[in-house]
Structure formats: structure tokens, C-alpha cells
């Protein structure tokens, strides 16, 4: 009796390897399974396509948002070395910003209450500040018709000592006028503006500086003036500014002087004398008193006079002799 043909077809040991295998499922069932698998693959592919498209969109938006920041950072990196090079070029291109070398020497003999305190030798920067060095040299040597001799130090601060200079009125002004010397600070202010462009503190310890401007002085007032039948706008100066003869010797770094003083030299010898001057007792400053504040606020002249006396030495500190060192 012959074996069952279905069993023969399903048995792999009985059919020849070259013969194709008949379908195990009916054609209708096989078509149904194939269509379901295709639908499932189509659904999965749509889902993956949606996810990938959203991810791409997010990446694109993020890239567009970060693009300006990247450009800004790149521009900053490009400009940083250029800015540094510009600052270095600016600082090295100005001769006043380089190391200053004294070319002339002057001396000041100081006394405290009539007793000699010692001599201070100062080196002047004629190449960097010619106007300031010439002004100090003429006043020290007496070539200006007036001199620092027998003139007092008027203010002693924790970081510096200040000399009162010569007066721009009275006998001093008359003597200066006889030798065609005018006490004008125009050239000194110009030099101060140039040196003030240099970075860092200018009035270092041991510096000699001339007071050329008053930062607290109010700006000039504008007013109408009739000249030759025409109205012109003129400037009226408020208060009295420095005349460019007062000088200071710093015992410590004094950045507070950079806004008013022009550095024209430094102490070469006798720094201990300047330190001794800084130890002289002075009138105590009383600007924190409520009475002084109210008096200054209402414009009481007594407050102005009292303020001028603050930090003045009780002892008489005088330049007994001065001149140029050959």
C-alpha cells in the first residue's frame, strides 16, 4: 500500500534536493500573512521616518541658534590678539610710557623748624616732559626770577608731601614778569594729557610731580560779553586753579595724584629726608564733622578756610636752598 503523499511532501529526507519545496500553507493564507508583514513594516517605517524627521528638525534649529554665537566667539578670538597688539603698540609707541631716564639733577635742602633735615637730589625727565622739567629747573635755579628758596611745604599726606610753590600774585608775580616768565600751565596740562594715556599708576613712590590741574574745580561758566558792539560768548573761570609751581614728592605709590599731577622726575638720593618730612605732625582733617559739612554746604567761608588748613604741618618745613647739580 502506498504511503500518504502529504507525509512524503513534508518529510525532508524523502524529496530530492533539486526539487522545489511545495508551499506549506495554502495560497490564500500565505498571501494574507505576507500582506500583514508588509503593513507592519510600512507602519514601522513611517514611525521611524517621523522620528528621524523630528530629530533632524531639532538639530537644524539648534544649529541655526548656535550659529551667531559661534560667529561671535570666532570674531572675539580673532579680535583678541589684535586688541592686545594694539595696546602693546600704543604703550610702546608713546615715548612717555617707556622707562624714563633722568637727564638733569637738582637739589633741595630742607629744614624743619630751623634745623637742617638733609638734602634731596632729584633727577628730571627732560626728554619725556620738557615743559615740566624746564619749569622746575628754572624755579630751582632762579632763572625764572623767582625761586623755591624760603618757601614752605603746605601739606603732608600719608603718601606724599606737597610744596606750596610760588604765588601768582604780589611780589612773586612781579619778579616773574620782569624776566618775561608767565606762570601759565597750558604746556604742562598738554604734557599731563599725553602721559595720562599710559597704563598703570604714574605717581609711584619716589616720584617728583608738579600740580597742573584741580579735578574738583568746577567747569568755567559761559556768559555773554559785549565787545566792539557785538555780543560774544566768553568763559568765566570759577575759582583759582594751580599755577604750575606747586610740586609733590611721593613717599608711597599715590594713584590719587594721577588726575592732577604731572610726573617730571624722581628722587635719586635723600629719600629718607622725604620720609622724615612725612612724619611731621599736621592739623587733623575734620571733614567728617557734621558742623563742617553743613557749613560747607551753605557756603560758609569759614569752612573753606578750615579746609585749606587740613593736613598742614605744625612745624615750619622750608626749602632753605636749591639749585642745579653740575
In the block, cell 599715590 appears at: 254
Q: Torsions phi, psi of 142, nearest 5?
A: 90, 5
Q: What is the pLDDT of residue 49?
A: 53
Q: What is the pLDDT of residue 139?
A: 92
Q: What is the pLDDT of residue 296?
A: 83
Q: What is the pLDDT of residue 257?
A: 94
Q: Give the gyration radius of the chain's Cα atoms.
A: 45
Q: What is the pLDDT of residue 63?
A: 57
52: cell is 528621524
β-bridge mates for residue 118, sequence order? 110
Q: Could you list the pLDDT tens digit for every one of the 326 residues in the chain?
A: 444 444 444 444 444 444 444 444 444 444 444 445 444 444 445 555 555 555 565 555 555 555 554 554 554 444 444 444 444 444 444 445 667 899 999 999 999 999 999 999 999 999 999 999 999 999 999 887 889 999 999 999 999 999 999 886 677 767 766 766 666 666 888 899 888 888 888 999 999 999 998 876 666 677 778 888 888 887 766 566 788 899 999 999 999 999 999 999 999 999 999 999 999 999 988 888 888 888 888 888 888 888 888 999 999 999 999 999 98
Rounded Cα distance between 172 and 144, Å, is: 10
Q: What is the pLDDT of residue 90?
A: 43
What is the DSSP track for 103-131? -EEEEEEEEETTEEEEEEEEEE-TTT-HH
Q: What is the pLDDT of residue 275?
A: 95
**Domain architecture of the chain: domains with CATH:** 101-279+317-325 (2.40.100.10)
Helix (H) / strand (E) element for 320: namely strand 317-325
Rounded Cα distance between 150 and 321, Å, is: 7
Q: What is the pLDDT of residue 117?
A: 95
296, 94 contact by CB (below 8 A): no
44: cell is 514601522
Q: What is the pLDDT of residue 226?
A: 84
Give the strand pairing for 247-250 and 160-163. antiparallel
107, 122 contact by CB (below 8 A): yes
Rounded Cα distance between 252 and 268, Å, is: 15
Amino acid at each position: 500500500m502506498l504511503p500518504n503523499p502529504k507525509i512524503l511532501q513534508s518529510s525532508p529526507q524523502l524529496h530530492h534536493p533539486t526539487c522545489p519545496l511545495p508551499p506549506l500553507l495554502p495560497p490564500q493564507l500565505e498571501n494574507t500573512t505576507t500582506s500583514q508583514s508588509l503593513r507592519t513594516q510600512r507602519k514601522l517605517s513611517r514611525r521611524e521616518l517621523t522620528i528621524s524627521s523630528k530629530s533632524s528638525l531639532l538639530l537644524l534649529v539648534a544649529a541655526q541658534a548656535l550659529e551667531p554665537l559661534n560667529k561671535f566667539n570666532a570674531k572675539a578670538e580673532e579680535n583678541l590678539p589684535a586688541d592686545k597688539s594694539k595696546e602693546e603698540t600704543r604703550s610702546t609707541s608713546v615715548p612717555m610710557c617707556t622707562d624714563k631716564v633722568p637727564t638733569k639733577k637738582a637739589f633741595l635742602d630742607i629744614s624743619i623748624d630751623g634745623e637742617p633735615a638733609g638734602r634731596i637730589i632729584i633727577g628730571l625727565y627732560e626728554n619725556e616732559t620738557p615743559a615740566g622739567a624746564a619749569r622746575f629747573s628754572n624755579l630751582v635755579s632762579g632763572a625764572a626770577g623767582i625761586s623755591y628758596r624760603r618757601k614752605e611745604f603746605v601739606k603732608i599726606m600719608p603718601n606724599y608731601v606737597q610744596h606750596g610753590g610760588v604765588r601768582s600774585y604780589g611780589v612773586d608775580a612781579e619778579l616773574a614778569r620782569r624776566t618775561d616768565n608767565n606762570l601759565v600751565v597750558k604746556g604742562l596740562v598738554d604734557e599731563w594729557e599725553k602721559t595720562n594715556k599710559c597704563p598703570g599708576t604714574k605717581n609711584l613712590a619716589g616720584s617728583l610731580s608738579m600740580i597742573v590741574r584741580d579735578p574738583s574745580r568746577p567747569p568755567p561758566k559761559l556768559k555773554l560779553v559785549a565787545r566792539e558792539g557785538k555780543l560774544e560768548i566768553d568763559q568765566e573761570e570759577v575759582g583759582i586753579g594751580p599755577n604750575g609751581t606747586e610740586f609733590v614728592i611721593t613717599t608711597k605709590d599715590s594713584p590719587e595724584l594721577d588726575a592732577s599731577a604731572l610726573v617730571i622726575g624722581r628722587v635719586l638720593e635723600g629719600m629718607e629726608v622725604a620720609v622724615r618730612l612725612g612724619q611731621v605732625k599736621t592739623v587733623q582733617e575734620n571733614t567728617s564733622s557734621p558742623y563742617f559739612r553743613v557749613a560747607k554746604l551753605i557756603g560758609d567761608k569759614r569752612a573753606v578756610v578750615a579746609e585749606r588748613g587740613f593736613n598742614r604741618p605744625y612745624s615750619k618745613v622750608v626749602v632753605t636752598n636749591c639749585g642745579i647739580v653740575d
